[in-house]
Amino acid sequence: MNRSKRTLLSTAVLAALVAAESATAAMLEEVVVTARKRAETLAESPISVKAFTDSEIRAAGIQSPQDFVNLTPNVTLVQTQSTGNSFLNIRGVSSARNSELAAAILIDGVLMSNPTQLNQQLFDIQQVEVLRGPQGALYGRNAIGGAITITTKKPSDETEGEIQVGYESAPGVSVKGYMGGALSDDGSVTYRIAGSYQDHDGYLRNTYLKDEADPLKDTSFRARINWDISDKLTTDFRVSYSKLETQAFYFVIGDQADNTDLEIMTNNPGNNEREFVSASFKLDYDMGFASLSAITAYDDVTEVSSGDQFNFLPREHPFNYFNNDGFGGFIKSLTGDALTDLSQNQYLEVESLSQEVRLTSNNEDGLRWIAGAYAIQTDRYISTGSQIDRGLGVFDVEKTFRDSVFVNPADPSPQLGILADGQDNFAWAVFGQLAYDLSDQLEATFSLRYDRDTRENTALTPPVYDVTGLGLVFGESRKESWSAMQPKLTLRYRPNDDWVVYGDLSRGFRSGGFNQTGVGVGVPVAGVDDLFDEQIADNYEIGAKGELLDGRLRVSAALFRTNLEGAYFFLYDPGTNTQNLGSIDEVEYTGLELEGSALIGEYLTAFFGMGLTDSEIQKAADPSQVGNQAPLVSETTFNLGLQYRAPLRAVDNMEFFARADYQRLGETWWEPNNDSSRSPVNTLDVRAGIESIDNWSVTVWAKNATDQEYNTEYSPGPAPGFNFLWKAQPVRYGIEFTKWF
């Protein structure tokens, strides 16, 4: 799609904002959130929270976590390597490859146990809430940067359904929908089944293979059954399944984070398959003075990623150094091949079982309280290995390794080396909250949580595959425990019905963990060891929320300062072919959020948001990093949106709607040495269509409508100028038809 066509598309959508006929007045939607585990309006909640209701989810076309992250100041999501590797960053506190998330993610109140599940299709969603700042006192050990709660639509006793069919420019197709209703004559048992299917050819061209590098096929579904056993006792059973197939490791190697001229030239398409099953059972019992909630959850996730390895060039390419250096010559002598190259593979398998029990007082006045306990058992297996690419393709490696090159050099893709580890993790916590109205205007809330996380890591690499010379012992175990108290004190002052002012002191905690066995010796980089540190974040925050112009303007602002111990940075080591987490001793983050929405005229709504995060490394194992910016932090985020909806003059029962969302990501640093930063990125998403008030709608859409070229990730490589770059997708556009009944 050339630039003139993109400009025409954007102009047509914006022009349509003034083309429809106005007829009735609109009001800003009142938003109810459960950020503090109680229902209250967004304006009342003393937390920096961005909420997306059902109407905004539809208007903005939110279908993945990336979509709502793009609309939330001081929150970013880095896409790289494979579907399961998406790095969430909230106010500078970030996740990284193979780490725990930077925020607690909950779907229908169930805590997501594995970060691999984050990047999934969102469908049949009622509301999304993004809480910024440590929320560990109520949400757990991974809520160090914040929390994200996703609420799916509940079953009802009325038979209803929806089907949506879409076509996009890759080309590709999508189908989404739901159906639900009553399973019993009295309506006490209800169900809802929702599903999503997406299949497209991809958008990023592999010039060597003359095909797209990022095709995608995703099949997901979810089923819920609710049973109102009595007026006091209800149950909610939910099961979901997802299978995704795409490709991985289509990096390009360059010098600077802004280099977008390099072509994808991997000689193998690679493979990325992720499959997960999640099930939960929730019981709610009204005891009169309090409500008892018990949530049992099970998760099983597997992901395999395979493809080319550094330097991601064809075997015969003149710059593929394996054909010209001593190491490549050694490999050729083993296999007898005229050319040589390397491929890579990672396999991840995680199974978890968790239980939460919570008591919540039912009173709305006086002393309000919450008390509960949580436990989770997790079994995790991960292997990362290198194979020799003999031009016969890349083969997935799960728990059964390929023949070692030293044992069978004739294997179609001999195993050069691999590191495999198993983890047996158990974590538990107790938590509580007290809230009390000190006066008609002043409320004090104190929350406290204690977490303890014990992890045992077992080396599962057979000696024949330990080509790094680390001296690994098969079956050798390491065991560590991390624990912390997470307090939170909040004061909320309401000078009148329109305004809230609050102050917050809070602490967040994220458990430490293990890099793959042996990297502490094999990777001589300051801050990288077999063990990476726990993280403690102390946050100080003040904020205000209010309404002006008779409720037609809603604004919120928050100022924060966070001291983080143990911030992550990522390091790839080519010698061991491992992806490692390093720790930065101390980082300070200072920033703000400013957000709002306003009615302009009768049918036009404007949305705006700005986030600033200034980070500075205070203490590090490498003293030269002190004073630098922290990794993965975008210094500024800015959002501006316009949404128009009005009846059509010439057609009864028809409405025209349009929305445009502009986002700017400021300068972003990627690693603690601050060798290269990405310049600001500007993107524009647009949607427009018509809707029958009766039962159907047609929508046209475009993402990255101006075709901004940029890299979603930069990661330092093994030598200067040989760094990993992951390309962003170009402009995408399509059409959707929706019918509900």
pLDDT confidence bin for 13, thresholds 50/70/90: very low
pLDDT confidence bin for 98, thresholds 50/70/90: low
Chain segment 491-524, per-residue pLDDT in tens:
999 999 899 999 999 999 999 888 877 666 666 7
pLDDT averaged over every residue in the chain:
90
Distance of alpha carbon 503 from alpha carbon 66, whole angstroms: 30
**Mean pLDDT, range 222-243, rounded to an integer:** 97
User: CB-based contacts of 552: which residues, under 8 Å, 6+ apart?
Assistant: 28, 598, 599
- DSSP state letters, 247-297: -----EEESSTT---PPB--SS--EEEEEEEEEEEEEEEE-SSEEEEEEEE
Chain segment 368-407, per-residue pLDDT in tens:
999 999 999 999 999 988 999 998 999 999 999 999 988 8
pLDDT confidence bin for 565, thresholds 50/70/90: very high
Chain segment 358-376, per-residue pLDDT in tens:
999 998 888 999 999 999 9
User: For residue 666, is pLDDT > 70?
Assistant: yes
CATH classification at residue 20: 2.40.170.20
Rg (the chain; Cα; Å): 26
pLDDT confidence bin for 4, thresholds 50/70/90: very low
Residue 342 in tokens: 């390397």
**Mean pLDDT, range 408-432, rounded to an integer:** 92
Distance of alpha carbon 548 from alpha carbon 579, whole angstroms: 50
Distance of alpha carbon 669 from alpha carbon 678, whole angstroms: 7
Each residue of 299-334: b (16+ CB within 10 Å) or e? bbbbbbbbbbbbbbbbbebeebebbeeeebeebbee
Nearest CA to 631 out of 11, 45, 3, 99 is that of 99
- CA 449 to centroid of chain Cα atoms: 24
pLDDT at 315: 87
Chain segment 678-715, per-residue pLDDT in tens:
999 999 999 999 999 879 999 999 999 999 999 999 98
Contact 608, 71 (CB under 8 A): no
pLDDT confidence bin for 84, thresholds 50/70/90: low
**Mean pLDDT, range 568-576, rounded to an integer:** 75
pLDDT confidence bin for 662, thresholds 50/70/90: very high
Distance of alpha carbon 712 from alpha carbon 70, whole angstroms: 13
Which residue type occupies 484? A
Q: How many CA atoms lie within 13 A of 210 on its CB side?
A: 0
Contact 169, 732 (CB under 8 A): yes
User: For residue 718, is pLDDT > 90?
Assistant: no
Residue 35 in tokens: 């950020």
Residue 323 DSSP code = G
Residue 145 in tokens: 């940067």
**Mean pLDDT, range 415-434, rounded to an integer:** 93
Task: Provide the greatest CA pair distance for the chain.
Answer: 83
pLDDT at 417: 86
Residue 496 in tokens: 């009148």
Query: Greater confidence, 330 or 107?
Result: 107
Distance of alpha carbon 689 from alpha carbon 246, whole angstroms: 30
Domain that includes residue 117, residue range: 3-740
Number of domains in the chain: 1
Each residue of 678-704: b (16+ CB within 10 Å) or e? beebebbbbbbbebeeeeebebbbbbb
Choose the weakest-confidence range: 87-91, 201-205, 512-516, 574-578: 574-578
Contact 636, 677 (CB under 8 A): no
Q: Would you call 68 helix, strand, or coil by DSSP?
A: helix
User: For residue 177, is pLDDT > 90?
Assistant: yes
Strands 104-107 and 146-152: parallel
Residue 186 in tokens: 């009295």
Residue 108 in tokens: 């229908």
Query: Of the spans 36-50, 467-481, 507-521, which averages the highest pLDDT?
Result: 36-50
